[in-house]
Amino acid sequence: MENFSNHSKVNEIVLFGFPSLEHFHMLLFMVLLIIYLFIILGNFLIILVIQKVSSLQSPMYYFIGALSCLEVCYTAVTIPKMLADLLNKEKKISFIGCLLQAYCLHALGAAECYILTIMAYDRYLAICKPLQYPSIMTTRLYQILIAACVIGGFISPVIEVILISLLPFCGPNLIENVFCDFPPLISLACTDTKLYILVEFVVSSFIILLSFAFVLLSYIRVIFVIVKIKSKVGRQKTFSTCGAHLIVVTLFFGSIGFMYLRIAKSDSVDYDRAVGLTYAVFTPLANPIIYGLRNHEIKSYLHRQSQLFHILIPKYLKFSH
């Protein structure tokens, strides 16, 4: 196997961007900027409320807080570069920068897979084993689980990074997407890449399918318990605690599944770009909406703070005069 450093002539990667929407780049920039600010503000508010409200000091909300932190980092990897490219005709990124972006995207994505899996297990324990839950899900355990998810996420794509760094890149440098990713990078190599594509597929499939299988198994057990609850109100209340997580799981695993659980390259560039935008932009956008705006405790706290703000401001203005 020949070493990348001795054979690569590609120092820069060109990102294709949105060529069909060239006349709407400023509009796209404004829309994407608003979405990005909403994602950052929404997730930071969730983290702040979880820290401030004593009733939210529970494993479930700490997992939500960890997920919000990951979403902030996840979007920071891709969206700022996408915003810059919308204002710049030369949509270039260094090869090392492109590989680093792809690595961070996969590392944070894998960490999110693991966090969502742990959240499903947490709901399984809380609903199926409520008496043992406090003794099992201790503070030390959920701290270890969150740390393991993050560390495991950053370890997961290391094999892919090493293999790609060994590939020779000597010609094409155009990626038909809005951000860097492993599959399009592999396709630029000046050698037979079937083995590398297979390895990337196996690693991605292992992470996605194994995580989703654990989530599915946890919720199958949860649904069996919910169905047995005699009270209709009790069933609705119990299921509502899982509903938000199920929506996030469906959006996240659905989008990454369509993108990575395939060996053959898609014939439609627009399809790949649309799916890429779904899991890089719209899935993170759903997190603060689902866990923030739909959560009663978080909404109540924000409502109380806004009322306090409206009371204090007139008093302050009156005092200043």
- Which of 79, 119, 300 lies closest to 214, judged by CA? 119
**What is the distance between the alpha carbons of residues 4 and 165, in angstroms, rounded to a whole number?**
6
**pLDDT at position 184, please?**
87
Give every residue of the chain whose pLDDT is below 70, as ranges: 1-8, 19-21, 234-235, 237-238, 240-241, 262-271, 292-296, 302-303, 305-321
Domain assignment present for 12: yes
Contact present, 196 and 164 (Cβ < 8 Å) = yes
Instruction: Decide if 307 is inside a domain.
Output: no
Containing domain of residue 268, as a range? Answer: 4-294
Assigned domain for 310 exists:
no
Number of domains composing the chain: 1
Q: How far apart are the first and last CA of the chain?
A: 77
Residue with tokens 């990667």: 13
Q: Residue 125 domain-assigned?
A: yes
pLDDT at 209: 93
Query: Using CA atoms, how far apart are residues 15 and 181, in angstroms rounded to an integer?
Result: 11
- Does a structural domain hold residue 302? no
Q: What is the pLDDT of residue 268?
A: 61
**pLDDT for residue 1:** 43
Among 82, 94, 101, which residue's Cα sits nearest to residue 21? 82
Q: What is the pLDDT of residue 258?
A: 81
Which pLDDT does position 118 carry in this prediction? 95
Residue 305 lies in a domain: no
Q: What is the pLDDT of residues 121-173, one digit of tens each?
A: 998 998 889 899 999 999 899 999 999 999 999 999 999 999 999 888 887 88
